[in-house]
Amino acid sequence: MSKQKVGVIGLGSMGLGVAKTLVAKGFEVHACDVRAEVVQQFVKDGGVAAASPAALGAAVPIAIVLVVNADQTEQVLFGPDGAVQKMAPGSIVIASSTVAPEYAIDLGKRLADKGLLMIDAPVSGGAARAAKGEMTIMGSGVPEAFDKAKAVLDAIAVKVYRLGDVPGPGSKVKMINQLLAGVHIAAACEAMSLGIKAGVDPKVIYDVISHSAGNSWMFENRMPHVIDGDYTPLSAVNIFVKDLGIVLDSARKMTFPLPITASAHQLYLAAAAHGHGFEDDSAVVKVFQALTGIELPEKKG
């Protein structure tokens, strides 16, 4: 039997994990990325290289878009070499980048005008869960799209939420998730910094808090980066500059105050202004280092 074909546009930390998971689960996975060396490595892992999003769109009935933002989504779908121009009617775009809800709604309408189906499908779980096929998908779109893409969605996620029959609800729920994720990372960095200033061993702080009521998924996941002094980006500071910006812009349009989110956003902006924008988002801790002179653990080796 021939393998089911699916495409992945964007082989970043999440996209590469998704693409490799699909290969491991028996799909024929076409992929494209602006970094040719990443695509070629993926070919060695069993994937198929697509020269452009358009080439990918011509080859597969389902395309997963996992790029950074709305501008990149626009480019890979509707740009000069965009996938939309080559996708057959009835094909599905699984739009998994974090974007403003109003953009997701408009994107769904424009794809429908082209005869294409869209699942507004932001994801959560990080690179590690993407690589294991254990993501959470916050999806919304017409039932036909979910039915056609069921095998793909089930392969990459342990939980697929169907939040509505039109694009938009998925991105709205992802916005709430990012509010919490961004605030939790900022709070974790603040707490760890205070502990270090007070003279407590960071490893002790981590062990105690990870087994206490003050713990959060983000504290438990991100603070080992600080303890190891390793800020290799799995999710970069600039991602939360963008994502919390989306949250604040959307809330402002609803005349809804978000004082805690705004404070967290300022910390990410400060980290980026200090030159840490492309480091792991746990590098927010370096803002407190700059402000207070605390000594952070250094990377060994």
pLDDT tens-digit readout, 185-211: 999 999 999 999 999 999 999 999 999
When pLDDT is averaged across residues 155-184 and rounded to a whole number, the result is 97
The answer as to whether 297 is a domain residue is no
The answer as to whether 116 is a domain residue is yes
Distance separating alpha carbons of residues 80 and 57, to the nearest angstrom: 13
Distance separating alpha carbons of residues 63 and 94, to the nearest angstrom: 6
Amino acid present at 153: L
The answer as to whether 178 is a domain residue is yes
> Does 127 share its domain with 234?
no
The reply to whether 174 belongs to the active site is yes
Residue ending a domain, choose from 166, 196, 231? 166
> Does 115 share its domain with 79?
yes
Tokens 């089930």, residue?
154
Q: How many domains does the structure of the chain reveal?
A: 2
Residue ending a domain, choose from 147, 166, 185? 166
The answer as to whether 301 is a domain residue is no
Q: Which two tokens stand for residue 231?
A: 């800020």
Helix axes 169-197, 285-292, angle to 10 degrees: 40
> Does 280 share its domain with 213?
yes
CATH number, domain of 80, equals 3.40.50.720
The answer as to whether 18 is a domain residue is yes
Would the pTM count as exceeding 0.85?
yes
> Does 69 share its domain with 146?
yes
Could you list the residue range(s) of the whole structural domain that residue 191 is in? 172-292
**What one-character-per-residue DSSP string does 32-81 give?**
E-S-HHHHHHHHHTT-EE-SSHHHHHHH-SEEEE--SSHHHHHHHHHSTT
**Are 53 and 83 in contact, with CB atoms under 8 Å apart?**
yes
The answer as to whether 125 is a domain residue is yes
**Are 162 and 138 in contact, with CB atoms under 8 Å apart?**
no
- pLDDT tens for residues 230-256? 999 989 999 999 999 999 999 999 999
**Are 218 and 184 in contact, with CB atoms under 8 Å apart?**
yes
**Candidate list 20, 148, 172, 174, residue with the active-site label:** 174
> Does 161 share its domain with 277?
no
Distance separating alpha carbons of residues 282 and 224, to the nearest angstrom: 9
pLDDT grade for 1, boundaries at 50, 70 and 90: low
Q: Which two tokens stand for residue 19?
A: 């693409």
> Does 178 share its domain with 115?
no
Q: Which two tokens stand for residue 124?
A: 């959560």
> Does 238 share its domain with 133?
no
- pLDDT tens for residues 69-124? 999 999 999 999 999 999 999 999 999 999 999 999 999 999 999 999 999 999 99
Residue ending a domain, choose from 166, 190, 221? 166
